[in-house]
């Protein structure tokens, strides 16, 4: 099996698809992709099929045996998923983190200045409520590093699970370093002090936020 066939086979398995589904995606008979991968027929994908598959799997056509994709305005952007959930800066939101509905593209060099984390660890979620005013507003969108949690806990703003809800709060390490405070920037909302670190259920650290100007 050559590299292009092996790559396509791997992409299909990782996406949880089967050969017949991908064949139907191309408008081909159900055995088309299986024959291409397992029997080497056809010898190579035609340009249209390869283009469709590259867009479907989000890869360069070169991976599937074609020429490298021509440069485009978003060719070098790193796409971060926007999850269809909100982290409460108020009274709490359901703590599911599944179901992204869109993506936002960031310049790779800019993103590397922001964080050394892999893009797969990053997600964007909405802020609900005003307990983090004036730092974060209701409706802001925050980028969360899901890989930066309990093990590297330090002063900063984090998304936490609290009572099966997602909340965005400021965490401050107390002087002895063994306990932490979970703080609301808005003084009209409660804060919690003297908590053991192990009591916190950290989702990730907030790295960046975006806001609509009003």
- Label each residue of 87-142 as H, E or C: EECCCCEECCCCCEEEEEEEEHHHHHHHCCCCHHHEEEEEEECCCCCCCCCCCCEE
156-168 confidence digits (pLDDT tens): 999 998 777 889 9
Residue-level pLDDT at 98:
53
- The predicted model scores a pTM of 0.61
Considering the segment(s) 3-64 as one domain, its CATH architecture is Orthogonal Bundle (1.10)
93-124 confidence digits (pLDDT tens): 444 555 445 788 888 888 888 888 888 889 99
Greater confidence, 59 or 138?
A: 138
Considering the segment(s) 77-210 as one domain, its CATH architecture is Ribbon (2.10)
Kindly indicate the confidence band of residue 92, based on its pLDDT and cuts at 50, 70 and 90.
very low
Show me where the domains of the chain are located.
3-64, 77-210
**Model confidence at 85: pLDDT above 80:** no
């Amino acid at each position: 099996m050559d590299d292009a066939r092996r790559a396509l086979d791997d992409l299909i398995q990782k996406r949880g698809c089967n050969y017949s589904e991908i064949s139907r995606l191309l408008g081909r008979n159900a055995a088309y992709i299986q024959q291409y991968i397992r029997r080497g027929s056809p010898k190579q994908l035609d340009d249209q099929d390869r283009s469709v598959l590259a867009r479907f799997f989000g890869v360069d056509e070169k991976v599937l045996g074609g020429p490298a994709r021509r440069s485009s305005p978003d060719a070098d952007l790193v796409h971060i998923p926007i999850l269809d959930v909100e982290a409460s800066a108020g009274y709490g939101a359901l703590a599911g983190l599944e179901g992204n509905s869109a993506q936002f593209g960031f310049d790779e060099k800019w993103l590397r200045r922001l964080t050394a984390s892999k893009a797969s660890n990053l997600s964007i979620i909405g802020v609900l409520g005003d307990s983090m005013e004036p730092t974060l507003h209701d409706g802001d969108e925050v980028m969360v590093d899901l890989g930066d949690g309990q093990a590297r806990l330090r002063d900063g703003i984090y998304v936490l699970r609290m009572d099966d809800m997602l909340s965005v709060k400021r965490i401050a390490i107390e002087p002895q370093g063994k306990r932490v405070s979970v703080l609301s920037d808005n003084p009209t909302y409660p804060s919690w002090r003297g908590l053991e670190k192990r009591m916190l259920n950290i989702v990730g650290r907030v790295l960046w936020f975006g806001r609509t100007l009003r």
